[in-house]
Structure 1
Amino acid sequence: MKFLRFIPFILLFTAATSCKKDKPVIAQHVKKVEKDTVLRIKPLDIKLNKVPQSYINSKKASIDNFYNNIWPKDNLSGGFLVAKNGEILYETYGGLANRSTKEEINSHTPLHLASVSKVLTAAVVLKLIDFKKLELDQKVNTLFPEFPYEDITIKMLLNHRSGLPNYAYFCDDSKIWDRSMLHNQDILDLMAKHKFDLYFKPDKKFGYCNTNYAMLALVIEKVTKMNYRDAMKKIIFDPLEMNDTYVFNYEEDKETASRSYKGNNVLYGFDFLDDVYGDKNIYSTPRDLLKFDMATYSHDFLNPELVKQVFKGYSYESKGVKNYGLGIRLREWKTGEKLFYHNGWWHGNTSSYVTLKKDTVTIIALSNKFSYKPYKVSKLAPLFGVYPMKDADEDLFD
């Protein structure tokens, strides 16, 4: 069967201000139609108003003050971006992608997203559901007969209610795994072989676990009949022109990828978990993540009824404002206000993606030097809407 790639939408990115000379420019993104795309997708129609200069001016000083308080003396080692309606209000980059070669980080430097990768993995799974290639309540063992947990569904993987054990823990046992480079299929094979106990009965409660998204990457491969890296590129990265985004391949990219550093600037070495993808291992930039965020405002990106299921909480076992949707964290207050986000941490990389849907604002911070500071950017939300952030602390290791 032949499939047609959609002609990507036109994105207008105009920089109102930038802390660097590298400013965004007005650009039109149009590609030729190809016949090898796995899904047929309509052109994306994004209708967001142009941001008035008066609005930009009213926010600039506050964002700049916030930035200088969080990252004083130019100690950012990554990128920070704030946008409204797809227009960049504030953007800055700093530090080194590789300290040995002195390669500087700029707007085109892909950095490890850590668990923010889950947002993009979930997006592809949801598109497969939207196009009837997969069902949200479909049991995982209908795709993988060897998967030993009968009651776990795709939805439970997406919203972390499966109860699956963390692969990083059971693979740390030398009797289970010899610490050679681990791959997603190895995780499935080990669960099939050892039938590890679940942490809890499926759908009983929320339990954040990277194994869920390592399995979702295998689901993508099974349904698309493509390698996860190729599927992500074909379904999300290329159509949205996320040209600086890719899935890390240890053998091919270990020498050229931006490196990861401890807080004291000591290099983090690779380990046996560094070739597992889906839960992590996507490298991207703030601008590319902004392109993705803009796509989520189009009804043609995902069916609106499915979008409603994405941006809702599924875990109310414990009181509080924090919850998890389908591949996205959220805070929801009694006032009805909601903030959507995802944080990440892997080795020295920390990241935060915040999307204020009601106010069409995007806030992104990426760092390749270990720091809690990216997690603080959600504190900017009250500048754009009614978000009682004082009632909730930052989430740490995601």
Structure 2
Amino acid sequence: MTSENKLEKLEELFSYLTREKMFNGCVLVSENGSPMYEYVNGVAAIDQSKQLTKDSRFDIASVSKSFTAMAIMILKEQQKISFEDVLEKHLSNLPYQGITIRNLLTHTSGLPDYIDWFEEKWDRKKIATNKEVLELFLKEHQPSLLFEPGDKWEYSNTGYILLAEVIKEVSGLTFEEFLESNIFGPLEMHHTQLLSRRINKDSLELAEGYIYDRENDDYKIPDHMDEHRYVYFIDGVRGDGAINTTAKDLYKWEQAIYANVLIKENTKNEAFKPAVLTNGESLGYSVGLHPDVEAGYGFGWSIENSSQTGKILSHGGYCAGFHSFLIRYVETNRSIIYLSNVDYLDFYDNKIHHDIVLQIENILFDKEVKLPSFPVSNNISSEIKTS
């Protein structure tokens, strides 16, 4: 399929998604190192009758982890840290021994996630910070490790909060200052911030996150919904999320990584190798873009090898009201950046975000494309013919 054909299919796909109220956000698709398609649609702030633009900033949630990992790699090249350093070398008074920086980067530390505990124990009227996670969850509560470091894989936001604290301790800068001076500034990511949305309410071009009730055609604020209240009370936590950015800035980020602008090739390659567990397993323990493809996890990236698309590096981000994907097809020099500021009241409707990304991939790789549909509307069987 020619580039012109792909562009036509992408336009057809997003025309359909817009018409069916399935996409509110911004998408950027690149091929051969250049953007080939960028599309923005929908509401940015209902109370201000404000529409999204290409400069609208989205909360990318866990996609932020790739920035935290990069900060660690920069410090490694500055010879201020080693991936094999144990945590206690840089952070004292924690009740854990033998967890390495590599374990934290690859989610093999065994540390349980802090969010469930905060859901149950924290005063939901207050905004927690890294300090509370360290003092209340790790030092006072002292949860047991889920397994010995390196034995298994278990996604842990806690590990990335600790990495942010290590960066602060080793560099002498706040986490925000380090990202700004070493990543955002050098890459001219002028529309990117690490911030607390509930505190920095006046930040320019922030897209608000919404939960859409399709049945009643109503947009809800997640802060006001008990099941999504966590977006308020963990808004001060750093390292595992909280970066707000645009599709264009994320494209600068993605391109800079592969051009080795910030770090050397051999350091970057460390990030893109799946962690090897103590039993020798390097794939199959994690989940990537395709549930049916065995995946591993590197430094802030899911890693999978598909027979149809080659090596894929990806990460998704979710917090109530926001969905994001950053995907790189290594061998074909293609990428997908997907940002949405609307979730759905029905939990199962939210798989639409993943379905949309897979259909973009199908267009890029000249595969059959099926128009996405919500679970309750799965009678839609229309296809976009590939050529």
Q: TM-score range by the shorter chain?
A: 0.7 to 0.9
How big is the shift at 1:357? 1.6
How big is the shift at 1:93? 0.7
Do residues 341 (structure 1) and 341 (structure 2) align?
no
Query: What TM-score, normalized to structure 2?
Result: 0.80
How big is the shift at 1:228? 1.2
Supply the distance in 1 between the matched residues of 2:158 and 2:305 (Cα, whole angstroms). 26
Larger relative strand fraction: 2
Supply the distance in 1 between the matched residues of 2:326 and 2:239 (Cα, whole angstroms). 17
Q: Which runs of 5+ in 2 are unaligned?
A: 214-218, 224-230, 276-281, 287-292, 344-349, 371-387
How big is the shift at 1:335? 7.8
- Runs of 4+, deviation exceeding 6 Å: 386-390
Q: 2:123 is matched with which residue?
A: 178
Give the SS at the match of 2:191. Answer: coil
Supply the distance in 1 between the matched residues of 2:4 and 2:340 (Cα, whole angstroms). 27
1:321–1:65 distance in 2 versus 1, CA, 3 Å: farther
RMSD: 2.5
Deviations 1:150-184 (A, max 9, x none): 1111111111111111111222333xx43432111
1:122–1:378 distance in 2 versus 1, CA, 3 Å: farther
- Contact 2:58/2:246 (<8 A) preserved: yes
How big is the shift at 1:109? 0.9
Q: 1:104 is matched with which residue?
A: 51
Do residues 358 (structure 1) and 331 (structure 2) align?
yes
Give the SS at the match of 1:271. Answer: helix
The residue identity in structure 2 corresponding to 1:312 is K
- Contact 1:310/1:326 (<8 A) preserved: yes
Do residues 267 (structure 1) and 246 (structure 2) align?
no
How big is the shift at 1:372? 3.4
Q: 2:31 is matched with which residue?
A: 84
Do residues 302 (structure 1) and 263 (structure 2) align?
yes
Deviations 1:301-326 (A, max 9, x none): 32212222211222436495222111
Supply the distance in 2 between the matched residues of 1:298 and 1:188 (Cα, whole angstroms). 36
Q: Which runs of 5+ in 1 are unaligned?
A: 1-53, 391-398
Q: 2:228 is matched with which residue?
A: none
Supply the distance in 2 between the matched residues of 1:207 and 1:109 (Cα, whole angstroms). 33
Deviations 1:125-148 (A, max 9, x none): 111112212111111111111122
Q: 2:380 is matched with which residue?
A: none
Supply the distance in 2 between the matched residues of 1:59 and 1:311 (Cα, whole angstroms). 28
1:104–1:147 distance in 2 versus 1, CA, 3 Å: same
- Contact 1:82/1:90 (<8 A) preserved: yes
How big is the shift at 1:374? 3.2
Give the SS at the match of 2:316. Answer: strand
Supply the distance in 1 between the matched residues of 2:123 and 2:118 (Cα, whole angstroms). 8
1:69–1:141 distance in 2 versus 1, CA, 3 Å: farther
The residue identity in structure 2 corresponding to 1:182 is A
Do residues 168 (structure 1) and 141 (structure 2) align?
no
How many correspondences in the alignment? Answer: 335
Q: Which moved more, 1:57-66 or 1:203-212?
A: 57-66
Deviations 1:228-274 (A, max 9, x none): 11211111111111111001135641354432110221112152111
1:195–1:204 distance in 2 versus 1, CA, 3 Å: same
The residue identity in structure 1 corresponding to 2:76 is I
- Contact 2:18/2:41 (<8 A) preserved: no
Query: What TM-score, normalized to structure 1?
Result: 0.78
1:168–1:268 distance in 2 versus 1, CA, 3 Å: same
Q: Which moved more, 1:360-369 or 1:334-343?
A: 334-343
1:204–1:90 distance in 2 versus 1, CA, 3 Å: same
2:341 paired residue among 365, 368, 380: 368
**How much identity, in percent, do the aligned residues show?**
27
Larger relative helix fraction: 2
